[in-house]
Amino acid sequence: MYLSNLKLLKKFNLLSSKDYFQIKDVIGQYLCPHQFEVLNDESLEVKLSGFSFGQVALFELSYNAPVQISFGAECQSYLFRFNLEGECKVKYDHSTYQQRPGLLTVSHPHFENRIELQAKCRNIILKIDHELINTVLYRLLGYIPQKNLVFDSGISYTSEERISILETLNYLCFAYSNIENWWQISDSFSSYLTELLLIKIPHNFSERIADKKNQLIPSYIKNAAHLIEQHYMEAISIEEVARLVKVSVRTLQKGFNTYLNQTPLSFMTSIKLDRVHQELKHTQVDQPIIDIFNAHGVRSFGHFTRLYKKRYGCTPSETVKQNKLIEINS
């Protein structure tokens, strides 16, 4: 069986409880903050086991009673749910997916999510931080997309196309439990696993990734992108970039739209968003955010903040506060 090492997850017991408030607190800590209610008078018991490393975590989660769970943008991760036992309904983006053993669903950080689990429902949940997913997606696409990533749900995880995912999860359980120097390879493994999911599970960028393998990006586009990355803080003009790569502004605009699916200006804004976000994650609470904006060439603070919240699900100041809380709790 492809998940023969699944039993190793039980070595890492995190919760076995009948107390509603303890369950809500612990599940919120390991998976994401949420609301949940028991749907009938059955006695509630929840079991959670698993482990995490870096921006990835793997859990086994079971509810013995029917419950309804809801969460939204406060969840900063993608949750890949592999159903082992029982059934549930997963709702997001105005769609409903019926999940049963053998099927996979995905909860997204940019949607309101609702999950209705029947009694004795047991799932393997792979949690991957949205930043890691986005970083690998950017690398596969060759550009920073303007739309949110949306995976398909209600698909088989035992099909021939996705057997490699199960094999990788099986190895992950073994490696975490048995390899002495696991931490030395965990980062590269996280990237590999994330890339595997992006290739094997259909989503709204799958065709773009497939097309990119057969597409040669012109050198002037690569050179222009490199120039923008190097000089984005100076707000280098598109006219200057076009002059330096020796094409017209019109050709540059058309090339970016064709090969990178965005304008040169959008490309520059995406770089600023990424660099500002990385700095905010490591800044002190008392450091003025405006100083960081200025250092990265941001001029319209209000507009940039709206774009930031759309991409990361929180404002710049909320990012600083969240990371301060993580630092205090660690």
Residue that finishes a domain, picked among 154, 188, 210: 210
The stretches of 179-218 forming alpha helices (DSSP H) are: 182-200, 206-213
Mean pLDDT of 213-233: 87
Helix (H, G, I), strand (E, B) or coil at 273: helix
Residues 224, 100 share a domain: no
Residues 156, 52 share a domain: yes
Residue that finishes a domain, picked among 190, 210, 230: 210
Residue that finishes a domain, picked among 184, 210, 236: 210
Mean pLDDT of 117-127: 93
Print the domain residue range for 24.
Answer: 4-210
CATH of the domain at 307: 1.10.10.60
* pLDDT of 50: 94
Residues 224, 191 share a domain: no
Residues 156, 10 share a domain: yes
* pLDDT of 2: 54
In the chain, the number of structural domains is 2
Residues 6+ apart with CB under 8 A from 99: 81, 83, 87, 88, 89, 90, 105, 153, 154
Helix (H, G, I), strand (E, B) or coil at 19: coil
Q: Specify the DSSP element, H or E, that contains 16.
A: strand 13-17
Above 70 in pLDDT, residue 3?
A: no
Mean pLDDT of 71-87: 88
Residues 141, 80 share a domain: yes
Single pTM value for the model? 0.74
Report residue 323's pLDDT band, with 50, 70 and 90 as the boundaries.
low
Report residue 46's pLDDT band, with 50, 70 and 90 as the boundaries.
very high
Residues 258, 132 share a domain: no
Above 60 in pLDDT, residue 207?
A: yes
* pLDDT of 327: 52
The pLDDT tens digits for 272-321 are 988 898 888 888 777 889 999 999 989 889 999 988 887 777 888 888 87
Residues 120, 71 share a domain: yes
DSSP letters of 73-116? Answer: TT--EEEEEEEEES-EEEEETTEEEEE-TTEEEEE-TTS-EEEE
* pLDDT of 329: 46
* pLDDT of 27: 94
Measured N-to-C along each axis, helices 219-231 and 238-245 cross at an angle, to the nearest 10 degrees, of 130
Residues 270, 183 share a domain: no
Residues 125, 19 share a domain: yes
Residues 102, 154 share a domain: yes
Least confident of 88-97, 210-219, 246-255: 210-219
Report residue 214's pLDDT band, with 50, 70 and 90 as the boundaries.
low
Q: Whole-number mean pLDDT of the chain?
A: 88
Identify the residue whose tokens are 């076995």.
16
Angstrom distance (rounded) from CA 317 to CA 300: 16
* pLDDT of 309: 83
Mean pLDDT of 68-87: 89
Report residue 5's pLDDT band, with 50, 70 and 90 as the boundaries.
confident
Residues 224, 205 share a domain: no
CATH of the domain at 20: 2.60.120.10
Mean pLDDT of 75-94: 91
Residues 188, 292 share a domain: no
